[in-house]
Structure 1
């Protein structure tokens, strides 16, 4: 579909995605920008605020397209839930956030927006002379506060709807207005009394009208959820917007839950872009309120959770349309990104192994050899990029296996992927009821020693493998007994 719209073949688009061309014709670049409803400059640099001197045939253009095009295909018709705090809605950054959300919707991503109103409500209640308290992150809400809560929530909601109704402009074309709808989609119930504290009209999500939301999403309409809910008797409840976003993502089985936030790197001790597997994220939930929401969502089926600094221009596009992103990503167990290799992975495996072969760390393997052995390989795959690989060659007669070609992509070393591949390979060996794994190495002895391997000798190798041992290379043999 994209190829026909641009006026090129599907092979050409595939070549752009795979980096098999070094020059993209200017007319094709402008046609793509027209389809995506962005300024061509964004495709040139990947960021409208960067250098304006790049040209259509530059490596920057090619790299931006390589990064973006696969994600455009990947995310089509996927559901993303995005939480907008009212601080973002009333900030100078919101104009570009609206433009970027509109672009994502144009690309076929189904968006559910959940807005907060905490700071707006703080000001509204103070102006009206109310004193208020929070307990366990919830505002204790009295009956008298409800009109002011509805006023504050309504002000934020109207601001969002007005901004999307304005449309957005680029130097190339004018966006149509983005359709956005809201309604009584949330059934709520009172929090009640916890530890002797009566939360009054503070509520929890009881039910979300998922069917109605999906019907609107299928028509490219964004859905806007406000942090108020209604009971069957017409009572109004004040909801925590962050919890509402979490619950909406879980019930919609969303592909992503995204929280726009104030800068968070110092609180979490991380420098974005960063990735946290679910187990590590759980250990940090006390450091940031939103991290707990992401953990809960990912643990309940949401594919990935993201925390972004909304003050960073283009944070949404960078996080969604580039491989490394711009913020913090929480994903399920990294073992879920490991899979058996296929013939389509050979080029990625060769890219990882080639520098190590050229430096003498690994013995060179031809493409034909890799094609023959591909069923022995496992890979870590992040959105089509092979981050690491390992091969396990079983010797069933001796109840052992050789671990070979354990390597990671140069850009992703020292991030724990080697450890993940090693542990995965050991689990596979145990499934085969093998008693020992061995490796041959000339460089990484200490790395393996730290992980329980011991030095061995050629006599420790299976007989079939002893005959293939290269005495000139003189690799060190290391073994690891496998427990039950």
Structure 2
């Protein structure tokens, strides 16, 4: 294969996601640490690219390190509780100044139209304003938080109107009250409320961490809120992990289809998460990104694409579209983000109280993740539920794999009569059987 231009293959593989994301609403949080570290320029280019691809963007931004630096320069030491500053008048003055400076910087960079930039030839309107209303935190544990606040409401209709006109909406970590006051807000809370109010397709939280890891340090690709929320007890209140995890879980429970935890330190994180099937960070969703389910007629094309390479190599018997349609109720599939990456079929021989496990297949890019085991276990449960006493398989390439999973070598005489008569002697498939007795 000619690999002079590897990006061409990547572009082809990304095309389904380009189509899927066009016209969708994404709320993206960029923490202040990303800007302070010099990563702002690259992230803004990525945002510009998303805009040109038709994504409706709402960008919330944090300013914590910049405010901390301004307070230090002014020799102001703020009181804090549970990770939140007490925003008295002095502190609030610094917060307002830094927020204004950061907003202006972002607007300026998003207006860049030089020939070498993604926005060349594109007129992008960047809008900010009084789009978030707030209320004071009040007195907590005996401490008056003054101008530290929490989100009361996001003006979703106003933001939708701006997005409909092709604008990118900026949301600083500030909120406004009906009494004309300004309140300091947590940027992650702003992003979460915006995503929920807009019924956003995605909430993307860019922080220090690349996502959530298991006890071995391996990245967890997908979690439900129920899986992720116990980790809140292990995180320090006010820490970035706590804030992001709380925002992601709350948004997922309140209707945001997918929330993503990514690291701004990874230059490829944002585009890699959005335009590759497996992504780069951790996704939190109420709906499983990868699910094992019964097959439907809509899966026929995906099944044909999955099985064709294995049939060509002689590992599976060729199955026509008509045969798959006729037997579709016998199949389970593993679907990953709309793609069929695994399947298995269970054909019953009720008179003999036996079932055939057939067409066990996993896409070559997704082997090694115990998906084959999940399919076999699911089919064993299905066979037991149907009153079958044993499960048999015919295989030419994978006999050892099945033996390792409890199957034993058998003979043609052990098969049901109908299967014996239909046996293809030219293939010389090995016969293996597993008892389903408890």
| Pair 1:309 & 2:263 matched | yes
| Pair 1:324 & 2:278 matched | yes
Q: Aligned partners of 2:318 and 2:387: how far apart in 1?
A: 29
TM-score (norm: length of structure 2): 0.81
Cα shift readout 1:247-300 (whole Å, capped 9, x = no counterpart): 21122221111112224469766556x512215434544463323432332233
Structure 2 residue aligned with 1:227: 173
| Pair 1:236 & 2:188 matched | no
Secondary structure of 1:81 counterpart: strand
Structure 1 residue aligned with 2:116: 170
Going from structure 1 to structure 2, the CA distance change for 1:81 and 1:143 (only over 3 Å counts) comes to same
Q: CA deviation at 1:216?
A: 0.9
Q: CA deviation at 1:394?
A: 5.3
Structure 2 residue aligned with 1:64: 10
Secondary structure of 1:132 counterpart: coil
Structure 2 residue aligned with 1:250: 196
Conservation of the 8 A alpha-carbon contact between 1:436 and 1:481: no
Q: CA deviation at 1:62?
A: 4.1
Residue from 429, 433, 436 that aligns with 1:477: 433
Q: Aligned partners of 2:186 and 2:432: how far apart in 1?
A: 59
Structure 1 residue aligned with 2:57: 111
The unaligned stretches of length 5 or more in structure 1 are: 1-21, 24-53
Going from structure 1 to structure 2, the CA distance change for 1:389 and 1:236 (only over 3 Å counts) comes to same
Structure 2 residue aligned with 1:124: 70
Going from structure 1 to structure 2, the CA distance change for 1:367 and 1:174 (only over 3 Å counts) comes to same
Q: Aligned partners of 1:89 and 1:402: how far apart in 2?
A: 59
Going from structure 1 to structure 2, the CA distance change for 1:223 and 1:402 (only over 3 Å counts) comes to farther
TM-score (norm: length of structure 1): 0.74
The unaligned stretches of length 5 or more in structure 2 are: 236-240, 394-398
Which deviates more from structure 2 when the two are superposed, residues 251-260 or residues 394-403? Answer: 394-403
Structure 2 residue aligned with 1:411: 365
RMSD across aligned C-alpha pairs, in angstroms?
3.8
Cα shift readout 1:207-240 (whole Å, capped 9, x = no counterpart): 1111111111111111111111122222322111
Q: CA deviation at 1:181?
A: 0.6
Going from structure 1 to structure 2, the CA distance change for 1:82 and 1:105 (only over 3 Å counts) comes to same
Cα shift readout 1:328-386 (whole Å, capped 9, x = no counterpart): 33333437744554556445434544565577765554555334323433333334432
| Pair 1:281 & 2:228 matched | yes
Q: Aligned partners of 1:320 and 1:481: how far apart in 2?
A: 46
Structure 1 residue aligned with 2:137: 191
Residue from 258, 261, 264 that aligns with 2:207: 261
Residue from 378, 389, 398 that aligns with 2:332: 378
Q: Aligned partners of 2:295 and 2:130: how far apart in 1?
A: 48
Q: CA deviation at 1:320?
A: 1.3
Q: Aligned partners of 2:203 and 2:118: how far apart in 1?
A: 31
Secondary structure of 1:388 counterpart: strand
